[in-house]
Structure 1
């Protein structure tokens, strides 16, 4: 199936329910921001960073995974419902999804650390923590480094590689989450393994599908950022269609 066909499926399934899907993404964002503000109540930088990380790993992730569920539900002909925002907190899902999220977080940090080795050697660990983990160095500390042409080029090249690799990793774990929703009886690591079997020969098409939404994101950002909600709903549904097609083709692997 061509990339355009996944996008056509997404548009067809979203017809008549763009509003509820966009509204759920907006509400999801508000919930995430409200929970995230808990860490901002602390003035100590290190403690604040740790609390923010814990909130992301144990709570906030569930709302992101819920949007995967909504997109898959819509692709299969269902109508999105506000209550689905909390689907991951169900007993049968929460712990296994938490495990998948923790493994994903560890893998992305380790891969990021490896990719950023040249930057770390030149700029120090502070740069890595600032851009990958989100704590450790403020902009005033980084400006002198980023002001040098050599470091700027090195950082841009490294960051481009980082985005490419993390896109691949995110695809793998997105598939694992979809599989857990479809097959609750599967253990988290089984979901990850089977997700790899399903997507390993589809990386190129998956990346091209993500790149095909860049224009939508740019237009959405120009439309006072509100347009991004439509772009995200569209992309999420197209990604769910991509998974659904892969599942049909490789059902024997499950």
Structure 2
């Protein structure tokens, strides 16, 4: 089964690099926590000033909206770098922790990461308004978008979203089963009060990267057969 193979390949890719993967997750979470606190402080100061000066409540709401938007942008850039790192790891390419900051390298990359985070969240949210299940299904449909743009930076975000949707036709259930295979590891995270997540998240992330690589190979073979 494809899900079992992706899990085995992920374990093979992480052989000898488990602690590196754990370190990457710890570092990224530390950066996200520090960034969130750094952004929250000016928001609180501005909000307290707005309340103290009896400004309208809408001002506080606007400030909070700006805080949330900036936080999502910052986290989206870090998470894109993390995804790229585990994709390189799945390909057995040399990796360093510097890849975490890859999407800070240019305004174009930063903008692309922001667009990916926004549109995937936005479209998933719209489908979730119908029911929770359609939202989950759509999140799987768009899940390959970041990887597609890593391999094809010339695509627009909307083109990558469309390609991801086509790529995942008939494979959303497989991706769900892949995540389900890590259910036992989820229990381990709960038992260890989150400590095990530093090793489990790299495992899951690398398995999903292998899932993308398998789908890419399938699409390439189909293109060859049709040509």
TM-score when scaled to structure 2?
0.83
Q: Confirm or deny: 8 A CA contact 2:141 2:172 kept in the other structure.
A: no
Cα distance in 2, alignment partners of residues 205 and 225 from structure 1: 26
State yes or no: 1:4 paired with 2:4: yes
Structure 2 regions of 5+ residues with no counterpart?
Answer: 48-59
Aligned length: 207
Superposition CA RMSD, Å: 2.1
After TM superposition, the structure 1 = structure 2 runs for residues 1-254 of structure 1, keeping only pairs within 5 Å, are 1-41=1-41, 42-43=43-44, 44=47, 46-47=61-62, 49-91=64-106, 92-115=108-131, 162=132, 164-251=133-220
Aligned partners of 1:72 and 1:241 also within 8 Å = yes
**CA offsets per residue over residues 18-48 of structure 1, 9 Å max, x none?**
1111101110001111111134323446356
Q: Which has the higher contact order (CA 8 A, sep 6+)?
A: 2
Aligned residue for 1:142?
Answer: none
Structure 1 residue runs of 5 or longer lacking an equivalent are 116-161
Q: 1:90/1:40 Cα in 2 relative to 1: closer, same or farther (>3 Å)?
A: closer
Distance in structure 2 (CA, Å) of the matches to 1:218 and 1:52 = 33
Cα distance, 1:171 vs. partner? Answer: 2.9
In 2, are the aligned partners of 1:39 and 1:48 still within 8 Å (CA)? no
